[in-house]
């Protein structure tokens, strides 16, 4: 049945969207920085997975374990050395700064990898499963499963670990956290590192499904934006809610109006939410 297929597609895609957005959402919610490098991190992660498979025959799910610490380190370093200098500056500065950093990273990727699209094709291919007339490609299913696992891991980290609690504290009230003895500078770096790690891992998962090229980084970034505004900043539940909503709107919109309008719809929805409900479905007002 078409409706069920659309729904299932939306569910699968929604989880992937949530995974793309969660790192971005965390950084925005905790550091109050809109990290425009996020899209490029995702693409870089995809390249890593591709290279690992191409040259060392390492399957993407194992690449996750490589990507996570590498990207964490990259993000931690970037925040401590560059971003921390402007952490109290108005959004104009931080946005333009991350834009500049993204230009550097993106240009570097185009220079070294060239802009042509690559595809990570698994050998042997995984095919698809069919349950009651609904078809889902297995690689997408696996990616979704892993995406959910990653998101769940982050959730546990934020709830259960000391570092996680500190991150949430800083997100809720930075000044109070300082008074409680939290080393905010270090937490910022950890949170940014986490955001980068999640982006890198999301990229690894994306490599299973989408073609890889530096030119796709803005598309990923755009999705992350919309998911954050729709769902709410800085929380796992927000990312999932936003991801599902976006995927649903795109799926239904595509079916009714054709796929060409999908991006317009999503950004139009973004603006509607910004005006009517800026805190998103789940978020609480005042975290701008």
Residues engaged in binding other proteins (CB under 8 A): 28, 32, 34, 82, 85-93, 95-97, 99-108, 111, 174, 178, 184-185, 218, 222, 225, 229, 260-261, 263-264, 267-268, 270-271, 274-275, 278, 288
Q: 53 or 192, CB closer to other proteins?
A: 192
Q: 7 or 184, CB closer to other proteins?
A: 184
Q: 85 or 119, CB closer to other proteins?
A: 85
C-alpha Rg value of the chain to the nearest Å: 18
Q: 87 or 136, CB closer to other proteins?
A: 87
The H or E element containing residue 262 is helix 262-276
Largest interatomic CA distance in the chain? 58
* Closest among 36, 43, 196, 55 to 109, alpha carbons compared: 43
Contact 20, 223 (CB under 8 A): yes
Cα–Cα distances (Å) from 182 to 51, 80, 196, 257, in that order, read 39, 16, 22, 51
Q: Which two tokens stand for residue 247?
A: 């995927």
Nearby residues of 155 by Cβ (< 8 Å), 6 or more positions away: 236
Q: Shortest Cβ distance from residue 66 to other proteins (Å)?
A: 26
Q: 90 or 181, CB closer to other proteins?
A: 90
Q: 105 or 208, CB closer to other proteins?
A: 105
Q: Shortest Cβ distance from residue 256 to other proteins (Å)?
A: 15
Cα–Cα distances (Å) from 72 to 8, 192, 204, 217, in that order, read 32, 8, 14, 19
Q: 60 or 214, CB closer to other proteins?
A: 214
Q: Shortest Cβ distance from residue 259 to other proteins (Å)?
A: 11
Q: Which two tokens stand for residue 12?
A: 């699968």
Distance CA 279, CA 216 (A): 27
Q: Shortest Cβ distance from residue 57 to other proteins (Å)?
A: 32
* 112 burial type by CB count under 10 A (0-12 exposed, 13-18 middle, 19+ buried): exposed
Q: Shortest Cβ distance from residue 218 to other proteins (Å)?
A: 8
Q: Shortest Cβ distance from residue 288 to other proteins (Å)?
A: 5
Distance CA 40, CA 213 (A): 10
Q: Shortest Cβ distance from residue 96 to other proteins (Å)?
A: 6
């Amino acid at each position: 049945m078409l409706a069920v297929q659309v729904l299932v597609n939306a569910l699968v895609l929604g989880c992937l969207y949530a995974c793309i957005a969660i790192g971005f959402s965390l950084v925005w919610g905790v550091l109050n920085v809109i990290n425009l490098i996020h899209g490029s991190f995702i693409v870089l992660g995809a390249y890593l997975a591709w290279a690992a498979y191409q040259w060392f025959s390492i399957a993407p799910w194992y690449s996750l374990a490589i990507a996570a610490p590498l990207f964490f380190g990259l993000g931690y370093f970037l925040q401590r050395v560059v971003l921390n200098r402007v952490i109290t500056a108005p959004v104009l500065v931080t946005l333009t700064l991350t834009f500049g950093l993204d230009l550097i990273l993106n240009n570097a990727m185009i220079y070294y990898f060239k802009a042509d699209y690559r595809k990570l094709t698994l050998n042997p291919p995984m095919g698809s499963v069919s349950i009651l007339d609904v078809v889902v490609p297995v690689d997408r299913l696996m990616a979704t499963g892993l995406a959910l696992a990653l998101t769940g891991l982050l959730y546990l980290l934020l709830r259960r670990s000391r570092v996680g609690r500190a991150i949430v504290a800083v997100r809720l009230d930075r000044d109070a956290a300082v008074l409680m003895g939290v080393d905010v500078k270090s937490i910022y770096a950890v949170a940014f590192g986490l955001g980068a790690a999640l982006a890198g891992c999301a990229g690894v998962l994306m490599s299973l499904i989408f073609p890889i090229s530096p030119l796709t980084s803005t598309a990923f970034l755009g999705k992350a934006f919309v998911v954050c505004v729709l769902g709410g900043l800085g929380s796992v539940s927000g990312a999932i809610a936003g991801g599902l909503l976006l995927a649903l709107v795109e799926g239904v919109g595509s079916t009714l109006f054709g796929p060409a309008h999908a991006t317009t719809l999503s950004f139009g929805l973004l603006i509607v939410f910004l005006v009517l409900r800026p805190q998103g479905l789940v978020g609480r007002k005042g975290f701008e």
